[in-house]
Structure 1
Amino acid sequence: MKKNTVQKDLPLGLYIHIPFCRSKCAYCDFYSLAGAEERMDDYCRALERHLAEVAPQAECHKADTVYFGGGTPSYLGAERLCRLLGSIRKLYKVDKHAEITLEANPDSATDRKALKRLRKAGFNRLSLGVQSMDDALLQTIGRIHTRQQVQEAVAAARKAGFKNLSLDLIYGLPGQTMEGWEKTLSDAVGLHPEHLSCYGLKLEEGTPLYRRQGELTFPDEDMQADMYLYAVEFLKQCGYEQYEISNFAKPGFASRHNLKYWLMQEYAGFGPGAHSDFGNVRYGYARDLERYLKGELVLQESETVDSDEREREYLMLRLRTVQGVDPREFEYRFRQRFAPLAALLQQCAREGLAEQDGNGWHLTAKGFLVSNRIIGLLQDELAREKNRRLEAAARGDYRVV
């Protein structure tokens, strides 16, 4: 008789939320706080308590990605960041080849000595929030860095030994023209990053930019679409492979941590506002720094994810990737027929929105522009198919089931 075996070293991503910023950007809806520097040390202690509390649940896991996001994690300073990473290594099994990412604003990432210390501590991927290479646009959206500081940060990172560098860019900014977007892309590529993220601006309710939309001129939907399609083609010509709607990388440099989200792999988040999908439970912590500092891990949401939700999630997340959906994997994993979904995707293919290859179905660049509509139609069809199966079972017609 075989003994039950416990799986070991299951891959796990760790997300560490750092909510501090030097100033709040006009478009930002993330949980971040400006002018709270005096709470940084208390926050680091609270994070270490939180990490220690969750660690026993991860005994069978090995962290293969660690991601410090924010906020502006680099604003925390090298000493605190290195201490936090050291605590993670003590509390968790961390793969020796783990991808360890630090988000940074260019204005707080020009100190080569600090960057060298971070690199020596184990941070091996730097993600710079560039957003634009136009100083006037940067001022309009409340960014406090300049184009020159972007160049200085990249140079400092390279001298410090970072060989995996990512730049975040935004298109659809107020007053932005196609020519301006083309120049930002060209300037960014000229810095030779290994990875680029290109996000369309979303006006989030409650942000300063949302309140000012009546006095500012934004590119319309058609212009935003043209900007996106230009980025896809231009970056392809420059040797960047698109692997997700908004993400492009040189071969071998796709963000392993970000892919965990799209491929439905496990990740655990720490800090107020952080989210997790761990142990088949999806949960998020309340955006409340003061309660977190007191050691109160207040859940804003928590749900055990059932198979129906995982099916819908699979379609939504996989169709954000260039890899797309594998019908064989879908049927094996969820015991559901893919044929009704394939019929819809074939219609999308006739409209130039989807393509079929040897591994399954994926959306085209044009399809990505309307991905929410396509995914919604597929999820509706999935629900209808389930209802047909249930009705057939109730009739005793198991040929349909």
Structure 2
Amino acid sequence: MPEKLGLYIHIPFCRSKCDYCDFYSLAGREERMDDYQKALMTHMKETAPLTRGWQVDTVYFGGGTPSFYGSRRLKELLRLIGKRFDLAKDAEITVECNPDSINRRDLIALRRAGANRISLGVQSAHDCELQNLRRAHTFRQAQEAVAAARTAKFKNISLDLIYGLPGQDMEGWQDTVEQALSLRPEHLSCYGLKVEPGTPLDDRVIRGERLPDDDVQADLYLWMVDRLAREGYRQYEVSNFARSGFQSRHNLKYWMGRPYIGFGPGAHSDFGGRRYSFVRDLDRYITGVLEGGAVIDESELIPQRERGGEYLMLRLRTTRGIEEWEYRREYFMNFDPIEQLLEEYERQGWAERHDRRWNLTPKGFLVSNQLIGELMTAQEEATLNNTLPRLRRGRPEQSAPQP
């Protein structure tokens, strides 16, 4: 059986830039789309031979706004992937779309080209909130986009929502969630608004605009977790909820530490034991690929000890969580200091244990940065002190429970 691999293709073009966005995306650069397409295809052709022996089982077009890039270019990229890579027949192929830049014709074209999952940036059901974020669409357009995707026979639709918006209260957030649920998506990604340094939203906050405080955001989050669970959407990651069988297989690769290769400016990869990223500069990326210049921004081999830290950091974002002997077996590290902290978190209602597996609760997710930071500090101290793990009495040493 070939090992599984994910592909991420970054489309950095947008019709307009939202006030909260700090992803590498550009508005007003459409004149470079054709050159970028040449660079992407060249880069993918050069990379494909390195993936022999691997089967691509997820493909993700992110951005930016891939739907703004146009279905013709996306179809061309999908044909190339199918030709140059070992693409699994049941591969999950996701295209991010904004409601203002997608229509029924394009969705039908993407579906026929192999795309089978749409991620739609809805964010809010209230046009006043969308305008305040400088989103280019209305909620009515989002409803029409979902209807068009169903007409195009997409059976896997994800909606993005944001809570903690300027002026948002519980009633407004509840209405957004209910309106989203009425569209019957298979998947929901619900993110707390984060003010990123250097963004227009950051400048607005510096100038005095107020956002819901941490307590309000916590109430919005916990209500949402409970409401979605009652509607059949199981939480499987801090911000992600899905009906049974519709978890994002591609994003799970990131959280489970599985290999993936990215293409495009600012895209990251984790492949062959090495993590690397490309320059966050459209023109440098195009020139570098087409003319042989440097496009790597950062590259490093990841030692096993650091992988152990990533195991804690990423797996504890998921409801699957971490498991003692999985940790010991994979990273040869002492779990005892980790478990001592987890037992304290359990007493606080932040973590829960199922047999030997631990995961954070919704209340724990709210303070997960702090908790994971403490766990990683404990891990580092145990490593420096060369603490030997204790073996539990009665556990057969020749076999370990499977995750």
Alignment-derived partner of residue 379 in structure 1: 376
C-alpha spacing 1:209/1:386, structure 2 compared with 1 (3 Å)? same
Does the 8 A contact of 2:55 with 2:88 survive in 1? yes
Deviates more, 1:244-253 or 1:292-301: 292-301
Question: RMSD in angstroms over aligned alpha carbons?
Answer: 1.2
Does the 8 A contact of 2:334 with 2:387 survive in 1? no
Alignment-derived partner of residue 362 in structure 2: 365
SS at match of 1:95: strand
Does the 8 A contact of 2:11 with 2:66 survive in 1? yes
CA deviations over 1:236-283 (Å, ceiling 9, x no partner)? 011000000000000000000000000000000000010000111011
Does the 8 A contact of 1:125 with 1:165 survive in 2? yes
Alignment-derived partner of residue 195 in structure 1: 187
1:152-191 to 2 correspondences below 5 Å: 152-191=144-183
Distance in 1 (CA, whole Å) between partners of 2:388 and 2:75 is: 58
Does the 8 A contact of 1:285 with 1:297 survive in 2? no
CA deviations over 1:318-357 (Å, ceiling 9, x no partner)? 0000000011111111112212211110000000000000
Deviation at 1:387, TM superposition (A): 2.0
Does the 8 A contact of 2:3 with 2:53 survive in 1? yes
Alignment-derived partner of residue 223 in structure 1: 216
CA deviations over 1:286-345 (Å, ceiling 9, x no partner)? 111111111234222111000111011000000000000011111111112212211110
1:130 aligns with 2:127: no
Does the 8 A contact of 1:72 with 1:105 survive in 2? yes
Deviation at 1:193, TM superposition (A): 0.2
Alignment-derived partner of residue 63 in structure 1: 56
Does the 8 A contact of 2:266 with 2:280 survive in 1? yes
1:2-401 to 2 correspondences below 5 Å: 9-109=2-102, 111-213=103-205, 214-294=207-287, 295=289, 296-389=293-386
Q: Which runs of 5+ in 2 are unaligned?
A: 390-403
Relative to the length of structure 2, the TM-score reads 0.94
> When the two structures are aligned, how many residues end up with a matched partner?
384
Distance in 2 (CA, whole Å) between partners of 1:347 and 1:359 is: 16
SS at match of 1:342: helix
CA deviations over 1:49-82 (Å, ceiling 9, x no partner)? 1101111110111100000000000011111110
Does the 8 A contact of 2:334 with 2:388 survive in 1? no
Distance in 2 (CA, whole Å) between partners of 1:58 and 1:14 is: 11
Distance in 1 (CA, whole Å) between partners of 2:25 and 2:246 is: 28
Does the 8 A contact of 1:175 with 1:216 survive in 2? no
Deviates more, 1:39-48 or 1:292-301: 292-301
| Identical positions, percent | 57
Distance in 2 (CA, whole Å) between partners of 1:236 and 1:390 is: 41
Does the 8 A contact of 2:5 with 2:57 survive in 1? yes
SS at match of 1:204: coil
Does the 8 A contact of 1:135 with 1:146 survive in 2? yes
Does the 8 A contact of 1:101 with 1:127 survive in 2? yes
SS at match of 2:168: coil
Deviation at 1:284, TM superposition (A): 0.7
Deviation at 1:38, TM superposition (A): 1.2
Deviation at 1:359, TM superposition (A): 4.7
Distance in 2 (CA, whole Å) between partners of 1:349 and 1:24 is: 42
Deviation at 1:215, TM superposition (A): 3.6
Distance in 2 (CA, whole Å) between partners of 1:312 and 1:105 is: 35
Distance in 1 (CA, whole Å) between partners of 2:387 and 2:122 is: 51
Runs of 4+ in 1 over 4 A off after TM superposition: none
| One-letter amino acid of the counterpart of residue 334, structure 1 | Y
